[in-house]
Each structure stands twice: as C-alpha cells, then as structure tokens.
Structure 1
Amino acid sequence: MDTKLLGNYLKDRRGKLNPSDFGISPLRRRTPGLRREEVANRANVSATWYTWLEQGRGGSPSAEVLNRLAEALELTQVEREHLFLLAQQRPPQVQYQACEPVSPQLQRVLDSLEHSPALVKTATWDIVAWNEAARAILTDYTKIPAGQRNVLRLLFGNTEVRRHMVNWLQDATFAVAAFRAEVMRAGAMETVQPLVTELCELSPEFNAIWQDYDVQHYGEGVKHARHPLVGEFIFEYSTFAVEGRTDLGLLIYTPSSPADRQKTEALISHWRQQQADVNGSR
C-alpha cells in the first residue's frame, strides 16, 4: 500500500467538497473544502488518526472505515473503488443494488443490432432491455409482465421458450449454475431467495439442478434453437459487462453461419409482417 498516494487522494477529495452543501459556512476558511476534523466527524473516526491518514502514516484502514470515509467524502462508485484500490490493493466487496433503467445510449446500441437478438439483464437475471430481433426470435418481452421477465422464470415456466430450445436440459442446467455464481458475486443471494424458493416449488427440474450446487461463468457459447418456420438454427452468444453499471450485463446472440443469418432474417421479416397486420387491423 502506498500511504502517500492514499493520503493525497483523501486530501484532494476533501478539498473539492463544498462546505455549504453540509450546512457549514464557507467564510473564514483559508483553504477550500471541508476541514479534516469535519470529515473525521462525518466518518466517525478520530480527527488525529484521519490527519495521520492524509499525512501517509495512518496505517491500512479496514473496509468498514473505508466505506465510512467514502460516504463522508460523498465519493461516486468509481471513486470509492479507487479508494479501496489505494488502501487495500483490491476493489470493494460488491454491494448489490436494485437496477435502474438502462440509458438511452445503451438502448440505441441494442437497436443497432438488427439481426442479432440482444438483451440486458440484471445481476439477478431480470431482463430490463431488449431489441427487435430479441422480440422476434427469443420471445416478445413486451407481452410479459415486468415482474415475470426473468431468465430463469422463462426457462422453467414458459412452454414456448422451452419448445424453441433444442438442448433445453443442457442449457437450463448451465444457466442455473451461471446464475448461482453471478448472484453470489453480486451479493444478491438473499435477494433472489424468494425466486429460488418459488422455482423449486414450481419445477422439480429446477429443484434438482439447484441442489447440485454447480457454478459456471456465462461467458461465451453456442445456443441451438428451433422454429416451425425455419427449422433448427444456431447462435453464438457473448456476454459483456456494462461499464459503470456493475448491476447490468449485455447478452448478444449472433447467427453462427450465413445460413443461420438467413433464417434469422426470415424470422424477423415474418415477425415484422405480423406486427404490421396487427396494427393495420386496429
């Protein structure tokens, strides 16, 4: 740990705070920002020890103290992570938070993938965004109540989704293992317990798979699908982290071959025609 870098960072963040934001008069202050004792008081630490910390001689703070300092200094998520890296050479433990809506920019990325089904899921695998290709080929998420738009709910509770999967048991087993690993990493196991309990009661297959305690990384892979109009086709899927949004993951399905792309295009075209017919009949 470089105590000098840590001290300089704390001093810099403290100096950029506005005393008025904390109900403190900015008058009679020789330097900008909060005073050391004011930050120490907000973080519930000794003013003397905080002074030593800024001077590079306060030792290595615990994670609990670092969290209090981050809150006292009103650090952003990325600033908090930087504080932990300086003090402990590791990022802070993940703190699961309920997901906020995706940004318009991210939605435009999805929409630009015309022939590749793509969706955004949370750390608890709720589906919060998708593109037209996903609606046409995977399932029409707009017709599913928001509280039911969960990957595992669809895998184990939606017969249409299951019917379109060539290797349902293999894919479902892998998905449950990846789900377990991801929610544990996100610190969200307690949050998903009601969902797990519900699925165990709903599906004996899910219950048996869940009891295996397997874990996997989702990463990249191949998905075999089928549709009455075009028969079987293959997607390659890739998952991506969303920068600045640890609560979100981007999942993209790409046609595996030119023949698979043709089938994908045919399904999207057919779906668009269906939508046009429905809209025209209104």
Structure 2
Amino acid sequence: MVDDAPNPLGTYLRDRRTRLAPAAFGLAVGRRRTPGLRREEVASRANISPTWYTWLEQGRGGAPSPDVLDRIARGLMLTEPEREHIYMLGLGRPPEARYQPVDGITPRLQRVLDGMALSPAIVKTAMWDVVGWNRAAAVLLTDYAKLPREGRNILRLMFGSDRIRARNADFDSIARFVVGAFRADVARAGASMSAEVTKLVAELSRLSPEFAALWQDNEVVSHGEGVKRIYHPDAGLLAMEYSSFAVEGRPELGMIIYNPASAEDAERLRVLLDQRRD
C-alpha cells in the first residue's frame, strides 16, 4: 500500500492539518470524522488540486514544486521554520532566502550583547546596517546611538568617514574584505537584486571611487574570523580577534564579537572602558 511507504512529507502535512481548528478559518465545524481540516479544505486554501494534495500526503506524484510548497505553507499557516522543514522533506534543500528589512533586535538579544561587558559586539543586517551593539562596541568602534539610523551602515562609515578610515589599520585590505563579505551576505539573504542593495551600491560608488573599483572586482569572501587592528585616540593601536555568528531563526542578521588578541590588548581595552564609564 502506498500509505504504508515511508513518506515524511506526507506524515508532517497530515499532522499539521489535523492540528488546525476549522473555526479559526471560518469553516463550519459540524460533525467531522477526523480532527482539524479536511484535505480538500487545505487544497482550497493553497489553491491547488485536492487530488494533488491527497497524493502528496500519500507519497504519490513525485516531488512538489517550490511554488506548491509555498502555497501549502500559506494554507496551513506554517511558521518560517516549518516552511523550511517541508522544503527539506519535499526537496532536500531549504527554500531560497527571502530578504526582509530589519529595524532592530529583540530585548533578549540585546541582553546577550550587554552580557559581554569586555567584548565589543554588534549585530548587523545583510545590508551591513548595525541594529544592535553593546557599550564596549560604542566605546571602541563607534557610538552608534549618536548616529542617525541611515548613518549606522558599516560601508557608509568606512567609505564616507575620514575618522573611521583613520581608525582602521591596513584600510586597503580591510576595505576589500568588507566589500567581498557584503556581496556574499546580500546574496545569501536573497537581496542581491533588491532595490535596497542597488540603491546602496550606487550611493557608495558615487561616494567612493575605491568602493566602485572593489565592487567591480566581484570578489566574494566569508566573514568568518580573523584579527583586526584598530586605532583608538586614547588607547592607541589594539589588535582585536573577531568571530562572526549567525543568529538562529534570523538569517538576515549576523553577530560579530571582538576579543583582545593579547593580554596587553585586554588590559588596554579594560582601562579604556573604565575611563569611559558613565
């Protein structure tokens, strides 16, 4: 029997369907033989054939298309992780990234940043807008709170501010690295062809011939980890190791954490933070 064959996608869809309350969708409850929505009701909500949906639950008809999976995800009101799960079950891969602009971070994530008192840390978007930071980052890197929202973009700061440029030792290599990592990030987030990226690239190209040349080179790099040397007017030159992390459930966000590369750098950073304590 087909229904007895291994069918993870069908099993999952059937489980989600039977957990839904018909009344929540404006459907008559009446006398139903099984809990949840009927197959034909899900098919109607997904705008697909009831027969095709039945075959999916039964493991028949081959692999569904991404469009069908997206329609079913909307019909079953799946969350983004659940949508990704049916892609993995049905196609063996996650869905293509869908870029979503970000205004800020959750209070919980901000508390994570604040808990790293001696480690400058920021959260950035795929567009490299800084949307979260801790006190150590404000002291060592930039006090983002004093900048307008559009001024918190790392590329705008690097290529448009002489002060930030002077803070970065080995600026040429850092600039090349940042542009390559930015290109990779917007592609990963599904934003390469977005109006936001097109506008930002055009703005930066007008602002800086250096950026324009680097963008035309088409280099792509992973942010990963490394060492960055930062000049501070009070602390001098500090070597800072950095590591980048994805934010679980928020593919459009990335966290960068800096730590002193040596005991001497750590002591100088601690003194700096003590001097700037409110």
Indicate the TM-score class for this superposition, using the shorter chain for normalisation.
over 0.9
Query: If the length of structure 1 is used for normalisation, what is the TM-score?
Result: 0.93
Is the 1:111–1:131 Cα contact (8 Å) retained in structure 2? yes
- Give 1:64-143 correspondences, 5 Å limit: 64-143=67-146
User: RMSD over aligned Cα, in angstroms?
Assistant: 1.2
- How far the C-alpha of 1:270 sits from its partner, in A, is 2.3
Distance 1:47 1:61, change over 3 A: same
2:270 corresponds to which residue?
Answer: 265
- Give 1:173-192 correspondences, 5 Å limit: 173-189=176-192, 190=194, 191-192=196-197
- Give 1:27-46 correspondences, 5 Å limit: 27-46=30-49
- Give 1:190-269 correspondences, 5 Å limit: 190=194, 191-269=196-274
Counterpart AA for 1:148? G
Counterpart AA for 1:264? L
Query: If the length of structure 2 is used for normalisation, what is the TM-score?
Result: 0.95
2:63 corresponds to which residue?
Answer: 60
Aligned-residue identity in percent:
54
Is the 2:7–2:59 Cα contact (8 Å) retained in structure 1? yes
Is the 1:50–1:58 Cα contact (8 Å) retained in structure 2? no
Is the 2:246–2:255 Cα contact (8 Å) retained in structure 1? yes
- How far the C-alpha of 1:58 sits from its partner, in A, is 2.7
- How far the C-alpha of 1:3 sits from its partner, in A, is 5.9
Q: Is 1:161 the counterpart of 2:164 in the alignment?
A: yes
Q: Is 1:172 the counterpart of 2:140 in the alignment?
A: no
CA-to-partner distance for each residue in 1:50-107, whole Å, 9 max, x for gaps? 1111111131001111111111111111111110010011111111112253122211
Structure 1 residue runs of 4 or more that deviate by more than 4 Å after TM superposition: none
1:279 corresponds to which residue?
Answer: none
Distance 1:99 1:166, change over 3 A: same
**SS of the residue 1:238 aligns to:** strand
The separation in 1 between residues aligned to 2:143 and 2:130, in whole angstroms, is 12
The separation in 2 between residues aligned to 1:101 and 1:145, in whole angstroms, is 13
**SS of the residue 2:276 aligns to:** helix
The separation in 2 between residues aligned to 1:124 and 1:27, in whole angstroms, is 51
- How far the C-alpha of 1:219 sits from its partner, in A, is 0.5
The separation in 1 between residues aligned to 2:233 and 2:46, in whole angstroms, is 62
Unmatched segments (≥5 aa) in structure 2: none
The separation in 2 between residues aligned to 1:25 and 1:126, in whole angstroms, is 48
Distance 1:3 1:42, change over 3 A: farther
Counterpart AA for 1:270? Q
The separation in 2 between residues aligned to 1:217 and 1:195, in whole angstroms, is 20
The separation in 1 between residues aligned to 2:208 and 2:43, in whole angstroms, is 53
Is the 2:103–2:131 Cα contact (8 Å) retained in structure 1? no
Counterpart AA for 1:226? Y
- How far the C-alpha of 1:229 sits from its partner, in A, is 2.0
Unmatched segments (≥5 aa) in structure 1: 277-282
1:15 corresponds to which residue?
Answer: 18
Counterpart AA for 2:247? V
- How far the C-alpha of 1:20 sits from its partner, in A, is 1.3
Q: Is 1:50 the counterpart of 2:39 in the alignment?
A: no
The number of aligned residues is: 272
The separation in 2 between residues aligned to 1:34 and 1:134, in whole angstroms, is 51
